[in-house]
Amino acid sequence: MNSTSVAIVGFGKIARDQHVPALHDNAAFTLDAVASRNASLEGVAHFRDIQTLLDERPDIQAISLCAPPQVRYRQARAAIAAGKHVMLEKPPGATLSEVEDLRAQAERAGVTLFATWHSRYAAGVAQAREWLSERRVSSVNVQWKEDVRRWHPGQEWIWEAGGLGVFDPGINALSIITAILPEPFFLTQGELEVPANRQGPIAATLAFRDAYDADIRAEFDWRQTGPQTWDIHIETDAGPLSLTQGGSRLSIGDEVVMEGGDAEYPGLYARFAELIAHGESDVDVAPLRHVADAFLLGQRVSVDAFHE
């Protein structure tokens, strides 16, 4: 099988730390170019923006978009129009409607569009989904609490309109529970704590239900110093399941059944290769839809100004 020639557009921390090593280890892809205003990668062709890249390298077959969501639509549209397969970092866009539009464009162009949710490829997720598929869930408790100063230093865009605030990590939890719970669910109540000097929430408390009235709760908080928490606890008719450490550690009952290393980005690129090979797309907006629902239905409460 020939290797797919891929370019990364938007070369920040996530591209360097995750995408480059995952591509390096996957024989299905060759990283042939990077487009970024400021950053470059030694030994790989560099272009200052996606249009120059598309114009000068018609041989590139796929584009992995790692720029912030606010600019992603135009880049994705240009790549699709040029006939490239496209992989989108999460979230897939700044609005749900633009993602619907990209989905339609990719279908018309006959290219693969993959809206990724990296947390769905954490080590314990697939087995959790399989185990839960035959159980009746009675309650879900999501605790997703981290220190924003540690994980997002200097990232002003994350606080601005369209930047999602604490839902930027919280959407990872939502991407996991939308993947593993056997029934769809929806928000019934939400509270968003918004710092007086910011647009995006610093914390959120959410209550969901499913068609069987399972009690699904989530707490997202960016003010947690010390140990960091990315845990999901689920009660079922066959006992409890816990997916902790961001999804990499799975316990069923009292037993740890999986404790994996970091498998997320290798998993994403394996899936991207599979989608390209089968001529398919994978665009699930459910996690972003839940965030939009929280902004729509949630009660906003003003809290102390946040200064980094």
Catalytic (active-site) positions: 90
| 185 binds a second copy per the rule CB under 8 A | yes
Size of the site for a second copy (CB under 8 A): 34
Q: Which range touches a second copy (CB under 8 A), out of 12-20, 95-103, 111-119, 270-278?
A: 95-103
| 187 binds a second copy per the rule CB under 8 A | yes
* Residue number, 100 or 304, with CB nearest to a second copy: 100
Within its chain, how far is the Cα of 104 from the centroid?
Answer: 21
| 292 binds a second copy per the rule CB under 8 A | yes
| 295 binds a second copy per the rule CB under 8 A | yes
Member of 21, 58, 184, 279 binding a second copy (CB under 8 A)? 184
Find the shortest distance in angstroms from Cβ 223 to a second copy. Answer: 21
| 83 binds a second copy per the rule CB under 8 A | no
Find the shortest distance in angstroms from Cβ 117 to a second copy. Answer: 16
Interface residues for a second copy in 96-115 (CB under 8 A)?
96-98, 100-101, 104-105
Site string for a second copy, 150-169 (x = CB under 8 A): -----------xx-x-----
Site string for a second copy, 204-233 (x = CB under 8 A): ------xx----------------------
| 136 binds a second copy per the rule CB under 8 A | no
User: Where along the sequence are the contacts to a second copy (CB under 8 A)?
Assistant: 73, 77, 94-98, 100-101, 104-105, 161-162, 164, 184-187, 190, 199, 210-211, 286, 289-293, 295-300
